[in-house]
Amino acid sequence: MSTEQGMRLRADAQRNRDQIIAAATQAFLDEGTEHPMEEIARLAGVGIGTLYRRFPDREALVRAVAQDNFGALADEARAAIAEEDTSWDALVRLLGRSRVLRLSLRLSLLSPATWHTIHDDPLIVRHRTDILELLDEIVRGAQTEGTLRPDVGTGDIAVLGTLLLRQGPGKEEMLTRALSLMLDGLRASPGTPLPGRSIGLQDLITSMQKT
């Protein structure tokens, strides 16, 4: 086989993989991770044999989608920090990325058997840790600049986002309104004192480890 043929085959294989991941991502977001593999192959424009050569079972496909999605969310958090003028703007931008956030939540609420498939995956663990640390950086930055109320922690933001994103697909207008209300409540302007203490990054990590 010539070098050119080899490069073309590798490019075709990568394109097939990307198409499968994109189709599975949308299917999992819309219908859940039990979406038929045959339908995912159809949506990706590949044969079922091609799908199974790349991903021998559903667990392998779920793991790949989770790696891709959590990695994309970490990249988005980094971009928000680097590109936005303020930490508050970075927080608004990150929380506004409802698609990747909603899929992250759905992947975090899988059946126990499927969740354990990805829970200890080293790449996913690294991405999730990066996301939490980046969110913590945004939260602390917004509090330092005086735009985020000082009595909330990173865990509070994560819990609020989780509750908000439990909305199903097709409810973007409702989600946008609820996000606006949530952000308004997080602003540093005077409001009702919160009960208890703030939920910090370590509290959140400890809670996730017990799940």
Sorted by where each starts, the structural domains of the chain and their CATH numbers stand as 1-56 (1.10.10.60), 63-210 (1.10.357.10)
H helix runs in 32-166, sequence order = 37-44, 48-54, 58-83, 87-95, 98-108, 112-119, 122-144, 154-164
**Looking at residues 196-204, what average pLDDT do you find?**
80
Query: CA distances (Å), 178 to each of 129, 133, 160, 166, in order?
Result: 27, 25, 11, 11
Query: d(Cα 22, Cα 43) in Å, to the nearest integer?
Result: 9
The residue with greater pLDDT, 196 or 35, is 35
**Quick check: 119 pLDDT over 60?**
yes
**pLDDT 10s digits, 124-134:** 889 989 999 99
Q: pLDDT value at position 1?
A: 45
Beta-bridged to residue 148, according to DSSP, are 187
Q: Which residue type is seen at 132?
A: L
Give per-residue pLDDT as tens, 74-118.
999 999 999 999 999 999 999 887 677 777 766 665 566 666 777
